Structure 1
Amino acid sequence: MTPGSNLPLSAVRVAVDVTAPVRLDVSGLLLAADGKVRSDDDFVFYNQPAGPGVTHSAAAGGGDTITVDTAAVPDGIEKIVVTASLDQPGATFAGTEPTGTVRNADDNSVLASFTPPQLGAETALVVVEIYRRSGAWKVRAVGQGYANGLAGIATDFGVSVEEPAAPAPAAAPQAPPAPPAPAAPAGQWGPPAGTPAPAAPPAAPPAPAAAPAAPAAPGKINLDKGRVSLQKNQTVSLVKGGRPLLSSVRMGLGWEPAFRSKSIDLDASVIAYGPDRKKVDNCFFGKLMILGGAIQHSGDNLTGEGAGDDEAITVHLGGLPPEVTGLVFVVNSFSGQKFSDVAKAYCRLLDAQSGEELVRFDLTHSEPRTGVMMAKLIRQFSGEWEMTALGEYVDARTVRGMVKPAGKAL
């Protein structure tokens, strides 16, 4: 095939093998009529190998394979683009000729092949696309290159979005605060399985009439003495003046490239869990608002350059639904660079209205891995939230790969 050419598909299940003399990361994105993914579930790659009708696997003889079962692709999906990016940071496709081979996934017969010509400074490209036209499926040779890696492709197709201005305090949801979730006896995570969440009561009375929270447990720090600097595994109760902090808070996360290192694309996310440690939802650069606006993300920063927080996540604690009893804040290296290439990584909790810094945690060491759990917030029986510094590293390049290890860290 040549760039722009297309062929009808004679098979219901087709496999696209992408091979090259060097290691590639191959992915498939399911796109709706607007040319965008519907959610992060439509991004299929090695760390999230299955989506609706599309799977990722290692190809026999090297390379990766994206398999498309056209009969299982949802009606709202118009095309699946197959992309390739170089596994080596900073490398380009100059001198490298990746080839996409389309075959019948059931009998392995070759239907088409395509080698994008004249590649140079590109670090990622769309190889082919499987698309729907008048009820039939076709394959088109594309070969469109990107100089900004997989992040550039992700941005084009809606996995990433342009960074909006940080939410103004006045934009916070005005819904009445949710009641505290039922909590378990000491030593347990939550209520017994099957315990229903209580219905939300009417709006709470003004703060002066509310009963003060129980004092923080012995050995735990609260906010009465001002800003708290946490060490790894240390916990602070978000209680000030005897009352739990239930206003809006902002978790700021920041980093800088290590000395003589290139810019690094890190992504900050938060995962919300229920009392059974099961994920309720997650908020990240591709999903900037969850839980009815109770959690909002500032948008993606692709380099980490500049002073101050690189990404921020605002949490309206009083507006969280009762089924959310834990939050874990994570950072991932979307481009695959290791945290050993990062300097000055930190997280800090601020009062979203006043901007006052409440809690800070600075990572004092780094590991050559691609994900780190920075901190967790857990709702207590008495209604307040506790923040614990984690600083635990894992191998995961997206928030999807953080769900299980973060759940275990609760």
Structure 2
Amino acid sequence: MTPGSNIPLPAARVAVDVSAPVRLDVSGLLIGADGKVRSDHDFVFYNQPTAPGVTHSNGAAADTITVDTAAIPGDIDKVVVTASLDAPGATFAGTEPTGTVRDADGGAVIATFTPPQLGPETALVVVEVYRRGGAWKVRAVGQGYANGLAGIATDFGVTVEDPAPAPATPAAPPMPAAAPTLGAGKVNLDKGRVSLQKQQTVSLVKNNQPFQASLRMGLGWEPAYQGKNIDLDASVIAYDANRKKIDACYFGKLAILNGAIQHSGDNLTGEGSGDDETITVHLAGLPPEVTGLVFAVNSFSGQKFSEVAKAYCRLLDGTTGEELVRYDLTGAEPRTAVLMCKFVRQFSGEWEMTALGDFLDARTVRGMVKPGGRAL
């Protein structure tokens, strides 16, 4: 699984094993519609190994949270599985924990997930088992915290008796991490235009229906210094479920995937109002093997983004021109490329857009392929 993706559970009882090369403390939290536990009894860990429908067990290679969905109380929306490092002061840098979801009775593996590009985090939400429309699903999360398990527990409403833990703050990883999925759920398009900040996610759903029409991604920028042209190139890279590149659309290849994705052409200056380059995506025309899209901008001539002002991307309804989502890039860095946003296709068919805003050094779309795959 990739961060933010979800799949339905084929079994009523599932076990989530969390393993790593080092010792981990694994826990489960029963979360209600308000994004909080009902009481401290909904915090399941080695010293409190049971709660309604949820148990904790230790294994030689991994700790396990077992979820019996049939026994989960009706006022619980999801079970969040977390992991923290046992060694004091240790971080996840260089450590790759893996969550394995399996049938608790038959043992068959349902899914695996390894959160990408971890660094200063000391705890993280690995996966969540959640209820949606009467059915149960599992979502890959991978959200890191800098203040340990106490930070996660506090964020979900568990009383922590240790001295004054700071409010939970997601650690800023060196590379894109999973979009935050904590709380009562993602924003959708029902309330009109959505303004995103870095690492925020919007579900492309309106009136309980996945948006399946044509979308237009507009990317724009202005020179930071009057009279100086800025030649940037917008692109989109399509990936499969294994984060492998399928194709890329940019000024040198204006249509890919039988026309399902089309590029407007190169803008050499950045002058003028409105979008400098646009990329149209016909969602219904995308082949099923495309599960991720990453939109990027790079400077072929080597100019730095510190010379760029008002860079943004905005998502429009390709038919009506209505602006649906906007992400204004702030805090430009003196580097030559930026990952603007990503789309991830959910098992249900809906797409989710996450704002990225991660800078790197690459002058062509070829240099964006590997970082884009890691961002998914």
Q: Scaled by the length of structure 1, what TM-score is found?
A: 0.48
Instruction: Give the aligned residue type for 1:368.
Output: P
- Per-residue deviation at 1:382? 1.0
1:214 to 1:299, Cα distance in 2 relative to 1, 3 A: farther
Supply the distance in 2 between the matched residues of 1:187 and 1:256 (Cα, whole angstroms): 40
Residue 271 (structure 2) pairs with residue 310 (structure 1): no
User: Paired residue for 1:292?
Assistant: 258
Residue 359 (structure 2) pairs with residue 405 (structure 1): no
User: Paired residue for 1:258?
Assistant: 224
Q: Alignment partner for residue 354 of structure 1, among 316, 320, 330?
A: 320
Supply the distance in 2 between the matched residues of 1:310 and 1:187 (Cα, whole angstroms): 37
- Per-residue deviation at 1:261? 5.8
- Per-residue deviation at 1:381? 1.1
Secondary structure of 2:343's match?
A: strand
1:332 to 1:214, Cα distance in 2 relative to 1, 3 A: farther
CA RMSD of aligned residues (A): 2.4
User: Paired residue for 1:273?
Assistant: 239
Which sections of structure 1, spanning at least 5 residues, go unmatched? 1-183, 190-210
User: Paired residue for 1:233?
Assistant: 199
Q: Alignment partner for residue 342 of structure 1, among 287, 294, 308?
A: 308
Percentage of identical aligned residues: 74
Aligned 8 A contact 1:261 1:341 in 2: no
User: Paired residue for 1:71?
Assistant: none
Instruction: Give the aligned residue type for 2:236.
Output: V
Supply the distance in 2 between the matched residues of 1:225 and 1:214 (Cα, whole angstroms): 26
Secondary structure of 2:258's match?
A: helix
Supply the distance in 1 between the matched residues of 2:370 and 2:227 (Cα, whole angstroms): 30
Residue 211 (structure 2) pairs with residue 245 (structure 1): yes
User: Paired residue for 1:222?
Assistant: 188
User: Paired residue for 1:370?
Assistant: 336
Alpha-carbon deviations, 1:221-259, whole Å to 9, x = none? 000000000000000000000000011000000000003
Residue 367 (structure 2) pairs with residue 390 (structure 1): no
Aligned 8 A contact 1:267 1:333 in 2: yes
1:246 to 1:214, Cα distance in 2 relative to 1, 3 A: farther
Where do residues 104-143 of structure 1 align in structure 2 (5 Å cutoff)? none
Supply the distance in 2 between the matched residues of 1:385 and 1:214 (Cα, whole angstroms): 19
Alpha-carbon deviations, 1:249-273, whole Å to 9, x = none? 0000000000336111000000000
Instruction: Give the aligned residue type for 1:371.
Output: A
Secondary structure of 1:292's match?
A: coil
Aligned 8 A contact 1:249 1:316 in 2: yes
- Per-residue deviation at 1:289? 0.3
1:399 to 1:214, Cα distance in 2 relative to 1, 3 A: farther
Structure 1: 4+ residue segments shifted above 6 A = 213-217
Which has the larger Rg? 1
Aligned residues: 206
Secondary structure of 1:406's match?
A: helix
User: Paired residue for 2:296?
Assistant: 330
Alpha-carbon deviations, 1:182-227, whole Å to 9, x = none? xx848479xxxxxxxxxxxxxxxxxxxxx9x999973310000000
User: Paired residue for 1:32?
Assistant: none
Secondary structure of 2:366's match?
A: helix
Where do residues 93-242 of structure 1 align in structure 2 (5 Å cutoff)? 185=111, 187=113, 218-242=184-208
1:229 to 1:286, Cα distance in 2 relative to 1, 3 A: same
Alpha-carbon deviations, 1:324-350, whole Å to 9, x = none? 000000000111100000000000000
Supply the distance in 2 between the matched residues of 1:284 and 1:329 (Cα, whole angstroms): 10
Alpha-carbon deviations, 1:11-56, whole Å to 9, x = none? xxxxxxxxxxxxxxxxxxxxxxxxxxxxxxxxxxxxxxxxxxxxxx
Instruction: Give the aligned residue type for 1:228.
Output: V
Instruction: Give the aligned residue type for 1:304.
Output: G
Supply the distance in 1 between the matched residues of 2:288 and 2:302 (Cα, whole angstroms): 36
Supply the distance in 2 between the matched residues of 1:188 and 1:250 (Cα, whole angstroms): 32
Instruction: Give the aligned residue type for 1:237.
Output: S
User: Paired residue for 2:11?
Assistant: none
Aligned 8 A contact 1:254 1:309 in 2: yes
User: Paired residue for 2:286?
Assistant: 320
Secondary structure of 1:285's match?
A: coil
Supply the distance in 1 between the matched residues of 2:237 and 2:352 (Cα, whole angstroms): 16
Aligned 8 A contact 1:267 1:301 in 2: yes
Aligned 8 A contact 1:214 1:382 in 2: no
